[in-house]
Every structure is written in structure tokens, then in C-alpha cells.
Structure 1
Amino acid sequence: YITSNEFVHATPKALGKNSVVILASQQGNTAETVAAARVAREKGAATIGLVYQPDTPLCEYSDYIIEYQWARYPETVDPAQQKAAYSLWLALEILAQTEGYAQYDELVSAFGRFSDVVHGAQRQVQEDAQRFAAEWKDEKVVYMMGSGPSFGAAHQESICILLEMQWINSASIHSGEYFHGPFEITEPGTPFILLQSSGRTRPLDDRAIRFIERYQGKLQLIDADKLGIQDLSTDVGEYFCGLLHNCVLDVYNLALATARNHPLTTRRYMWKVEY
């Protein structure tokens, strides 16, 4: 993917009438994303807008509109109808329609079981989330780690939750990149949250875990294999790891915000000053 403002200022040369551009904005009014949709349309590309709020500026420049579900309390929404899930659906369909995909039916079947797996995982981690919140509420910096599809979830947690919504210094580190420099900051008590994936990139996570434990870093593991990812599929379940981690992190985020008396809606600059 590419961030909206970079798309506007460094527009891919391949963009044209044979392109499909997928854009997302919660309220449908993110200025950079609206501008990106306008640029895409001007170049003749088909545009798909993912929004929570309909009838918003992004919709004006979207040939197709998908309204996704969102709520502060995760148990009140269907995980298969959230933004990230629709993104995977779209990628799957585009791949299947343009090149064909041998495991298409298996992925569709896994989507049918996804909501049950997520809700079961969210119930499973309730107690651990409370423990985590009590033990981590005073941390001044937290490093997020992950690999494969779960690296996206780690990055989102770092910038959207820890930095934006909790004002906790954070960085997202790919489990494979950890050994290319970042591991030098590891010492007793250094806080890491690692989203342990399932499938082909799990060895990258395992290696990072061993090093962090060896040097006594403070480690919170959220293991997709222990949260039911294999109930989706043994072959394509890994593609759902990031989605599952996103949904499970919702439980931890609410617990942490409560323990810190810092609601997830708190902002210092966003929507309040010119930027």
C-alpha cells in the first residue's frame, strides 16, 4: 500500500485506466485520501472507497463504496465486515478475477468462520488483557513487533493506538528487521509487544522471542496459533493473522486505556488545530 499524500505527490506512473485504487477513511473526509481519490479518478482508474460514514467527500470520488462496521467495543461488530477484512476480500477477489487463485474457495470458507474465531479469541484474552493493563500502564515506551500480515497490525497499533490514542512513545519493528539494528536497544525491562504469526513467517517471530527472553526484555505475546487461527484453515489461515491480531488488540487497548485513565478518544492536536 501507499500512504495517501505520497500517492498524490509521487503518483505511480503505471496509474491509469487499467488500475484499481482502494482508499479508506473512517469519516470519509481525510483530506489527503480525498485528494488521492481525485487524482486516481483523473487518471482514469477505478476507485473503491472504504468508509464508516456514508455520503462524505471520499464517496464523491469513489466509483464503488463499501460501508464497513466499526465500534469502540469490539464485541458489538461483525469482524468480517470491518475495514481490514474488506481489504483482504477485495485483494482476494481482484487476484481471483485477474489471475485466478487455486485456494479461492478455501479462503471464502475461512471468511465464513472468521467472526466466530474472533469472538472466541476476544473472550479468551479478557483476563490476560486486564493483567497486561495493570502491568503495562506506566510504561513510557512500547515497541510493537510482528511479521507477515501481522506486521501491518503491529504498525497500526504503534501509530494509531500507542502514539495517537495513548501518547506512549512507540515504534513498529518487523521481526526480521529486529536483528538488523533494533535489537541493540534490548536490555532487562525493555517493553515489546510481539504479534506472533502463524504460517511461513512464524520462525522470524520465534527467533526474536528467543533473543528478547535471553536478554530479559519485557515481553507480551499475542499468539495467533493459540487464538484459533488454525480453525480457519491450515493452508490459508496465515492471511488472517493480521485481522485476528487487530481484533484481539481491541480488547487490550480498552483495558489499557481504562487502567491509564486515558480514553481512546483523547486528542491533543487531531481535529483541534490546523495541520
Structure 2
Amino acid sequence: MMLGFDESEFLKQTASAVGLRPQIEDLVDKLTAKGFDNLFLIGAGGTYAAMWPYEHLAKRLSTMPVKSVIAAELLVTGDQTMTRNSVAIFTSVSGTTDDSLRAIDYCRERGVFVIAFTGYPESPIAEAADIALVSEPKTWPFDLQMLLFMTRLFHVRGEFAGYEKFADEFMNIPEILVEVARQAEPVASAFADAHKDTDYYFLVGGGNLWGFTYLYSMCILEEMQWLRTTRVHSAEFFHGSLELLEEGTSVILFQGEDETRALTDRVEKFVRKISKDVTVFDTKDYSLEGISPEFRGVIAPLVLDTVTGRVSKHLERVREHSLDLRRYYRVVEY
């Protein structure tokens, strides 16, 4: 039994997201046939950070200009590379995020083709977009849809030859992630029990896990648990942030299986010399049965989101602090 985990609902939600594959493929194929110049991945908070892995993937695989953008910043600075030949993707669990709504209006006014992934077909964001691809309500994370969209795009462009194999294997990801959650449950419980009174965390990740590191630090530990954090990219760790380490500093490292793994290994080797409280959440610890070795790295954010989902529920338990409790976010005017 997993704490606060509704397996049937989880399977229903994740299956609905990967079930969008035919629609995603059709959309990508039509957009590519028509032609577009660049792709904007626009979000706010967690949905912004969750776009970073796909900007990163584009840099590795493609010559297509792909840019992650903060919705609110776009509104005040603009972007001269955004034209009528641009495409923008937005994601929103609720479909109501104000910053994203205003950014959609900004894009539409400039003739940008807007795609929305959400769980509510009649939500403001779904209705404002040119096309909305809708999963079950409250489906998270959007890595499910974004992985299919981006890999299909690079496949059509001749930059990702393994798409069909990847997408076929990926259809089994709902069940694979349930197994990840089961395996992570005792690890998460033990971590939470050991950190009941920890009020400061140092989080490190790199490559396609940097956005996830930022997201878990800001949107979960800070927003949902009111804990203090420092977050730093593993490639930047030795340029300042290391000075904050002390013997009792709780350090969390997010480790994946792409070419940036060595950067986080280097950080781990150093922090273990200083801190007596180092935790590594590593995708290598999970079998991911049915996923070929060459694809394990690209799905790392999705795997660790499932692992830390278990951690979050157990922190909620030991700290008696609901993950839904807010003092300011969507509570007061700002």
C-alpha cells in the first residue's frame, strides 16, 4: 500500500496523456509540412521549469530553434524572434494560470500558432489556444505529452531515427511508473522520517534534470512545504554555491543517465567530503522494464517526478503539513 497513491487514478491519467499520441503525431506532421521557424515553450513556475528538458533535448538533437520562456517576462520584454511563423506550446493542469493566459493572448496577437496541453477542455487556456490536446483532469507531469511531441518533431525533421521504437515502448509508461512508485515508497518513507525536522535543503541536478531540480526546489519544497532551499546546476556548483555547504547541510542530488551524469558525479564526490547528509535519487536504481537503454536518459525527469512524488507525500505525513496548504499563492492579490 502506497501512502496517498490512487493507482487506478494514476493509471487513468497517465494513460490519457500517452493516449494522445495519434493526435500529437498528426499535429506535428501537419505543422512540419506547413513549415515553421521556431518553437517557444512557455510556462509559469513549474510549467516553465518543466519545459527546460525539451529545450535541452533540442540543443542535443536538432537545429530547430527551441526556447523556454517565462510567460510573465515575455509580456514585458517581448521577443524579436517570435513571428507569424512561430509555434508556442503551453501546459497547464488547471487551464487557468493568469500569466499563461495573458501570454497566449500576446502570442495570438502576433499570429503565433498556439498549442495547449491541459486536463480541462472548457478551461480558459484550452479555449484561448489554436488547438488544445486534453488529458484526464489533474494529469501531471506534462513530460508525457512533451516527450511525444518533441521526439516526433525531431523524427519528422530527420533528427531522431528511433522515434517509432521509443513511442511504442513509451505506451507502457503508465505501468512502468507505477512500478517506480512502488520501488520508491520505502526509500521515500525512510527519507522523510530522517528529515522530519530538516528545514533547509541543497538541491543539485544537471542536464535534462536541471529544470526538474528547480521545480522540486521551488514548487514543492518551498511552495508546498515552506522549506528553505538552495538549487544549483551541477555544472555551476563549483562557482559559488559550494561555500554554503556544512557538515549538517542536507544535500539532494538528482542523477540521470545522459551525458551530463559525470557533472553530478563530480558534485557528489565533493559533497560527501563535507556533508554527512547526502541523498542521491538516481534513475539507474529503477529497472524501467520495457524501456531500451538508449531512451532511459531522456525520460529521467518523468521517472524522478514519480520518485519524488512519493517523497513529497511522506514529507507531508511526517511534517503534518498539507501539500495543498498555501499562505499567498492564489490566496492573496499580488
- Normalising by structure 1, we get a TM-score of 0.91
1:86 corresponds to: 145
Cα-Cα RMSD: 1.8
Q: Post-superposition shift, 1:230?
A: 7.5
Q: Post-superposition shift, 1:108?
A: 1.2
1:19 corresponds to: 86
2:101 corresponds to: 34
Unaligned runs of 5+ in 1: 72-76
Q: Hey, what's the Cα distance between the residues in 2 that align with 1:69 and 1:246?
A: 18
Deviation per CA, 1:167-213: give whole Å up to 9, x if none. 00113211111111111111211111111111211111111111111
2:327 equivalent to 1:260: no
Q: Post-superposition shift, 1:54?
A: 2.7
2:134 corresponds to: 67
Deviation per CA, 1:62-106: give whole Å up to 9, x if none. 1111223465xxxxx7xxx74221122222222233454222223
The residue type equivalent to 1:102 in the other structure is: A
Unaligned runs of 5+ in 2: 1-67
Q: Is the Cα–Cα contact under 8 Å of residues 23 and 33 in structure 1 kept in the other structure?
A: yes
**Counterpart mapping for 1:1-275 below 5 A:** 1-69=68-136, 82-229=141-288, 231-275=290-334
Secondary structure of 2:117's aligned partner = strand
Farther off after superposition, 210-219 or 243-252: 210-219
Q: Post-superposition shift, 1:56?
A: 1.5
Q: Is the Cα–Cα contact under 8 Å of residues 28 and 53 in structure 1 kept in the other structure?
A: yes
Deviation per CA, 1:202-225: give whole Å up to 9, x if none. 111111111111113411111101
Q: Hey, what's the Cα distance between the residues in 1 that align with 2:190 and 2:137?
A: 26
Deviation per CA, 1:114-146: give whole Å up to 9, x if none. 223221111011111111111112111112211
Q: Is the Cα–Cα contact under 8 Å of residues 17 and 43 in structure 1 kept in the other structure?
A: yes
Residues 236 and 175 of structure 1, relative CA distance in 2, 3 Å threshold? same
Q: Hey, what's the Cα distance between the residues in 1 that align with 2:221 and 2:135?
A: 23
Q: Post-superposition shift, 1:247?
A: 1.4
Q: Hey, what's the Cα distance between the residues in 2 that align with 1:97 and 1:64?
A: 20
Q: Post-superposition shift, 1:109?
A: 3.0
Q: Is the Cα–Cα contact under 8 Å of residues 151 and 163 in structure 2 kept in the other structure?
A: yes
Residues 126 and 50 of structure 1, relative CA distance in 2, 3 Å threshold? same
Residues 101 and 205 of structure 1, relative CA distance in 2, 3 Å threshold? same
Q: Post-superposition shift, 1:166?
A: 0.2
Q: Hey, what's the Cα distance between the residues in 2 that align with 1:115 and 1:258?
A: 25
Q: Hey, what's the Cα distance between the residues in 1 that align with 2:290 and 2:217?
A: 28
- Tell me the percent identity: 27
Q: Hey, what's the Cα distance between the residues in 1 that align with 2:141 and 2:213?
A: 17
Farther off after superposition, 258-267 or 171-180: 171-180
Q: Hey, what's the Cα distance between the residues in 1 that align with 2:152 and 2:112?
A: 17
Q: Is the Cα–Cα contact under 8 Å of residues 198 and 229 in structure 1 kept in the other structure?
A: no
Q: Post-superposition shift, 1:248?
A: 1.3
Farther off after superposition, 224-233 or 195-204: 224-233
2:40 corresponds to: none
Secondary structure of 1:239's aligned partner = coil
